[in-house]
Structure 1
Amino acid sequence: MKNSLDDFAASVENELSAIMYYWQNFTVDTMHAGFYGSVDNNNLPDLNAIKGVVLHARILWSFSAACNYTGQTAYLPVAERAFDYIEKYFIDREFGGVYWSLDAKGNIADGRKQIYALAFCIYGMSEYFAATKKQTALDEAIRLYQCIEQYSYDPAYKGYFEAFSREWGALEDFRLSSKDANEKKTMNTHLHVVEAYANLYKIWPDAGLKEKIAELLQLFVTHFINTQTFHLKLFFDEQWQEKPDVISYGHDIEAAWLLQQCAEIIGDTHLITRLKKYAIHITNAAMEGIDTDGGMWYEYHPVTNELIQQKHWWPQAEAMVGLFNAYQISKNEQYLHVCLKNWQFIQAHIIDKVNGEWYWGVLADNSIMPNQDKAGFWKCPYHNSRACIELLQRIKLLA
């Protein structure tokens, strides 16, 4: 077992370096500033593509986290570039929060306030502060936290509303993307708010923030986790009436380990015990989406009994961490076996061995999904770099 874990760690360490190399060398926008809004599978940038704040915040987190894990300060200039671009162009100095998107030159394209985006900026800035101790980064992260609490928190029913206009007014369309249901409260946004808050708590252990993290984790226990199936419920109205939708295997497996980690960060023993138990149940439910080749399918529609036969990059990254976490908790080597098989699938079909980084995904016959970004609005280094860092830290813990 030790040899297989050593080999696993060595290959994951190499992949982390390769991911960082790709983003350092193929995504920096040398014509304007920040990072290209879109880069294709041949590493050709679209010089006019819209720039998303989530992309920049995730680059900020990935390079800060890679520096914090490896000690390589060569990663800091990329993190600094991302932070400076967010601070100069994305932060709304008039109304607070961050813009959703900009044009290639840095002008506002969509000024809406998507809480998901504020959360990722908190996540990235917290990690950047941990790497640099730059006070501006902590100050900005705290301001964004206060923005979310001021405008998005629901004092009547708890939880957070999805989105607002630039001036924090009401919207008719709350959606992150066209594939999402148009509902006021979503699992996805709450997952990334608690993730961001927990990362902020590590460098700013504020008592009020700790209470908010515990409340968010309790919302998952109460509303988001289906305790019959242990899949995650995704969409709700403001009074927590569920609006049934798909089963998202990637979100299931991501939540399985991430909720537990957030409870551990705040040291809540009751929540740690409960969420460790749930981590196993949710991982088992998510494993319904693991194919015989080790790859994780994208989504399943229960009403139509339709499996979306695509294997996107990010559920594979989350699957590795979730499965390894289940192995750590249970010591059941079946989880490790499936984790290693998933890594073999990623190496065989998801990693681009010619041009670098990971493809968006593959179809059922393992052909590459056409017309998708290698880097872009949603295609960022966060899922795969984080998976590498998490796995390396966890393997060292076992050793």
Structure 2
Amino acid sequence: MDEALRQSLLTTYRDGLLKDVLPFWTRHSIDREHGGFITSLDRDGSIVDTDKGVWQQGRFTWLLGELFNRVEQRPEWLELAQHGLAFLEQHCCDPADGRMWFHLTREGKPLRKRRYAFSESFAAIACGELAKATGNQEYADRAKLLFDRFVNHVVEPKLTEVRPTRGIGVPMITINTGQELRESIDLPGANAWIDRSIEAIEAFHVHDDCHCVMETVGLDGQRLDHFDGRTLNPGHAIEGAWFIMWEGHQRGDAQLVSLGTKMLDYMWPRGWDEQYGGILYFVDIDGKPVQEYWHDMKFWWPQNETIIATLLAYRLTGDLRYAQWHQMVHDWAYTHFPDPESGEWFGYLHRDGRVSSTLKGGLWKGPFHLPRMQLMCWQIMADSQFPIHEYILP
């Protein structure tokens, strides 16, 4: 990766974030009447649905606080972050049990809750960034409370007691939430939660015998020869891979970097579409048909997470495979997803790269995976202190 390419990528990620993606959301999603953010937007930013997803309230609030803390202390970013957190605090918690809702009306009236507690994890990191930005201890205390509710909630789905399972989602989000809160509020016990979660992923989900990172396994990590057990989510596993690589980088721990790159090594060939390019959504470990009918679509976020993972792996190890993979996924994603007319990215493509839906956001897509990717990759390329090729892996 020569200097010209490094500068080109740095500019693509930085300007894409600050001049395209962030302005799209600050122009179109801010609800000045009822608070929070409306994220169900069409191609041009027009509103498709006024309901609000709690995930996106927390995620956008986190992003704005993160930009204020890491990029520049722009007053408008802090004001919008406080705007988002006010809606979270006023409307997003169920007073009956303290749990957070998943789906609200525009005014903040509750519609439904999910079995898992990811709303709490995203709200926690939002509070953490506001605590760091303002020095307000109440925000830090709220972040700790939400983190405790997240990690102590029983969120693992079970197919009755006949076939109990464990999924990779909970430990991997615990890793990232712990990392964010360690950085923003020096969360007590963060390293212990991160260690426990990495150990669970390595022990139960990383299967060396078949070179695979399993999404859903039995309680002891055993493979389950059913739809749920055979279905892999390559983008999810690759996201977890870079969380672990990043932890290795933060600690100077080559073993963690090695674990993260191994997970990437296992899931790249399973996720990369050799026919059309891009990362597939779901695949079956044995090559059997997948039950989810959107399995071969190209969603935005697996491409985002793979761009981060491959760039981080290359910058940490110097292995040219990762530079090549990064170029492949970067080039495919940037050829097909960006909307040159209205800005931001389309979220949902057909397998061959044709646009399936003009939606720019909804309950699931909002200002998170894409701007986080742009921020992470910009910072990796710009940081003169970043350890280039420091880890020699077996």
Please indicate the TM-score interval, normalised by the length of the shorter structure.
0.7 to 0.9
Deviations 1:90-110 (A, max 9, x none): 123442231122122211111
Amino acid at match of 1:39: L
Assess if the C-alpha contact under 8 Å between 2:204 and 2:220 holds in 1: no
Deviations 1:139-186, CA, capped at 9 Å, x for gaps = 11111122234443xxxxxxxx337xxxxxxx989xxxxxxxx96632
8 A contact 1:61–1:124 mirrored in 2: yes
5 Å matches for 1:212-361? 212-236=193-217, 241-243=222-224, 244-265=229-250, 267=251, 272-288=253-269, 289-291=271-273, 295-306=278-289, 308-361=295-348
Which whole-Å CA distance do the structure 1 matches of 2:9 and 2:39 have between them? 33
| Letter of the 2:8 counterpart | D
Q: Structure 2 counterpart of 1:300, which letter?
A: V
Write out per-residue CA displacement over residues 204-249 of structure 1, whole angstroms, 9 at most, x where no aligned residue. Answer: 4355332222111111111122223443222245565554131212
CA contact (8 A) 1:187 1:234 kept: yes
- Are residue 395 (structure 1) and residue 381 (structure 2) matched? yes
C-alpha distance in structure 2 between counterparts of 1:227 and 1:118, whole Å: 33
Alignment of 1:1-399 (within 5 A): 1-17=2-18, 18-49=20-51, 51-73=52-74, 74-112=76-114, 114-152=116-154, 161-162=155-156, 185-236=166-217, 241-243=222-224, 244-265=229-250, 267=251, 272-288=253-269, 289-291=271-273, 295-306=278-289, 308-370=295-357, 373-397=359-383
Q: Distance in 1 between matches of 2:245 and 2:319?
A: 18
Check the 8 A contact 1:27/1:375 in 2, yes or no.
no
Q: 1 CA distance for matches of 2:48 and 2:349? A: 22
Alpha-carbon distance between aligned partners in 2 of 1:52 and 1:224, rounded to the nearest angstrom: 29
CA 1:136–1:28 in structure 2 vs 1: closer, same or farther (change >3 Å)? same
Residue type at the aligned position of 1:116: F
Amino-acid identity (%): 19
| CA–CA distance in structure 2, aligned partners of residues 252 and 149 of structure 1 | 20
| AA at the equivalent of 1:295 | G
Task: Write out per-residue CA displacement over residues 17-38 of structure 1, whole angstroms, 9 at most, x where no aligned residue.
Answer: 1111011011122443211151
- Give 1:179's aligned residue: none
CA distance in structure 2 between the aligned counterparts of 1:240 and 1:364, rounded to whole angstroms: 31
| Structure 1 letter corresponding to 2:359 | D
Distance 1:262 1:117 in 2: 23
Contact 2:171 2:198 (C-alpha < 8 Å) held by counterparts: no
- State the TM-score, normalized to the length of structure 2: 0.85
Mapped to 2, the partners of 1:339 and 1:294 lie a distance apart of: 12
Letter in 2 for 1:258: F
Q: Distance in 2 between matches of 1:261 and 1:111?
A: 31
Q: Which runs of 5+ in 2 are unaligned?
A: 386-394
Alignment match, 2:390: none
| Deviation of 1:40 (Å) | 2.0
How many residues of Structure 1 are paired with residues of Structure 2 in the alignment? 370
Q: Partner letter of residue 130 of structure 1?
A: K
Contact 1:231 1:252 in 2 (8 A): no
Matched to 1:261, the amino acid is W
Matched residue SS, 1:109: strand
- What is the letter of the counterpart of residue 94 of structure 2? D
Describe the shift of the 1:324–1:214 C-alpha distance in structure 2 as closer, same or farther (beyond 3 A).
same
Give the direction of change, closer, same or farther, for the CA distance of 1:47–1:256 in structure 2 (3 Å limit). Answer: closer
Distance 1:338-1:111 versus aligned 2 partners, 3 A rule: closer
8 A Cα contact 1:194 1:216, kept in partner: yes
Alpha-carbon distance in structure 1 between the residues aligned to 2:188 and 2:107: 40
Superposition RMSD in Å: 2.6
2:182 and 2:32 map into 1 onto residues whose CA distance is 35
Question: 2:284 corresponds to which letter in structure 1?
Answer: H
Residue deviations 1:266-306, cap 9 Å, x none? x3x6xx33221122222222321224565222221234534
1:128 is displaced (CA, Å) by 2.9
Distance 1:122 1:242 in 2: 33
Structure 1 gap segments, 5+ residues each? 153-160, 164-170, 174-181
Deviation at 1:65, TM superposition (A): 1.7
**Which one is further off, 301-310 or 374-383?**
301-310
Q: Match of 1:67, as an amino acid?
A: F
